[in-house]
Amino acid sequence: MKTQVIDSLQCAVCGARVPVDQPLSWRCPQANSDDRHHVLHFVGAPSANNFQPVESENPFVRFQELLAWDAFAAQHGTSFGERREFIERLDVQVAGVAGVGFRRTPFARHAELSRVLGFEGTGGLWVKDETHNVAGSQKARHLFTELLHLVFAEEKGLAPWGANRPELAIASCGNAAIAAATLAASVQWPLRVFVPESVDAVVLETLRSLGAHIEVCMRQPTDPAGDPCVLRFQEYVSRGSLPFGVQGTENAWCLDGGRMIGLEMLEQFPNTQQLQRIFVQVGGGAFASGIGDALRIAEVQGTHLHAVQTQGCSPLARAWSRAEQTGGTLNAGARWSECMWPWEEVPTSLADGILDDETYDWISICDAMTRTGGFPVVAPESDVVAAYELAQKSSGINVSPTGSAGLAGLMTYIAQNKGNYEQENIAVVFSGVLRS
């Protein structure tokens, strides 16, 4: 693996570039309220030196040189050691609220699930368990690089607000909101959370205990198509609050931290074996985008990425099909309006955490599936329910229906490809704890 020398952010739609040292570079400079179809991606060339991870259980320290945040901070005159100390200091603060800091989470072949699903000894199901991560899911990984960026900019005098911090804002129905509230509380930064009417009472109680301000969003007759929580969030940000969420379209820096889980998985998988497939549940898309980008950075060959959605809400699969028809699934950003638009029906599924009306980070996922020879999988609701029940019964992991939705995609794939998977090594991520 070569070190990625990230020098800028580039819009995957219009091509606009932003230098990596520019503070508060959340969105494409060409994006506006009338044209939100823009998303910044981190770009740069690999250096001649092979990457060597730092000896640390903290993935943000271990893979520090691969972070865009590290390039950003380096451009502002800090040494490698100072940047490491900055990460470790914030991690300690996060642990003070969450009870745990960022550490490598388990990734191993699961014998019982492999047996139940019919894998043979040379293959198997590999499970990455994120339920014991900060705030109980992978979402905090995305948000930590946003927090690093914000606090660094503030401490170095690069932010315009001085002592009067603007409020942070996020649109979420569950895990992302709790992760955001946990990280915001760790640095005493006020946070406003925009949630749907259907939000779980346990989620609301947790958010209140972390000091978040909560806005319950109802769909208004005059609202344009799309998630009303995202619409209210966007209105709030336009009035001066800071985006602190997991949609790359609203804050590109979430994509930086999202790559850590993929890099971690690839390092943990035995180098004597081949990982054939990764099934990743997709709502807004930053999660799958991060894993796809990790496959690119690590120059992995032969591992197919499959994005999983449910029949009750599958805008990504529709966009993939439209992209195939209109010029190809690679670099489809310029065809956003032709390929991606909000799901028309009311989204429904037991896996309610992936019912985003739009897959905001669809471009990078389509690119990753194209590069790896993967494709989207739409799981029927019966597989979503069966996957959750199987995970609860046989995995020993207290995972939520949303967190086990990648397994639902695998079960759908198995049903469609009987006799062609048993000797493969296939990975899923149990991405969120069941809260009660």
Domain boundaries, the chain: 107-136+254-430
- Residue 266: predicted pLDDT: 95
Tell me if 290 sits within 8 A of 262, measured CB to CB: yes
> Which residues are CB-neighbours of 161 under 8 A, at least 6 positions away?
154
Q: Which of 182, 177, 179, 183 is nearest to 230 (CA)?
A: 177
Contact 435, 205 (CB under 8 A): no
- Residue 135's nearest CA partner among 173, 92, 103, 99 is 99
Residue 415: what pLDDT? Answer: 95
**Predicted pLDDT of residue 394:** 97
| pLDDT attached to residue 419 | 74
- pLDDT value at position 436? 78
Task: Report the pLDDT value the prediction gives residue 236, as an integer from 0 to 100.
Answer: 96
Cα 215 to Cα 413: distance, rounded to the nearest angstrom: 39
Task: Say what the pTM is.
Answer: 0.96
Strand residue runs (E) in 174-303: 191-196, 213-217, 242-243, 277-281
Give me the phi and psi of 430, to 5 degrees please.
-85, 100
Write down the residue that tokens 């099909």 correspond to.
Answer: 321
In angstroms, the first-to-last Cα distance of the chain is: 41
CB 382 within 8 A of CB 388: no
Top-level class of domain 107-136+254-430: alpha beta
Per-residue confidence (pLDDT) for residue 380, from 0 to 100? 98
272 burial (CB, 10 Å; 0-12 / 13-18 / 19+) is exposed
pLDDT score at 47: 65
* Residue bearing tokens 């969420």: 245
Residuewise pLDDT in 10s, the chain (436 residues)? 767 789 999 999 999 999 999 999 999 999 998 899 999 999 987 666 678 899 999 999 999 999 999 999 999 999 999 999 999 999 999 999 999 999 999 999 999 999 999 998 899 999 999 999 999 999 999 999 999 999 999 999 999 998 899 999 999 988 999 999 999 999 999 999 999 988 889 999 999 999 999 999 988 888 888 899 999 999 999 999 999 999 999 999 999 999 999 999 999 999 989 999 999 999 999 999 999 999 999 999 999 999 999 999 999 999 999 999 999 999 999 999 999 999 999 899 999 999 999 999 999 999 999 999 999 999 999 999 999 999 999 999 999 999 999 999 999 999 998 778 999 999 999 999 998 7
User: What pLDDT does 48 receive?
Assistant: 61
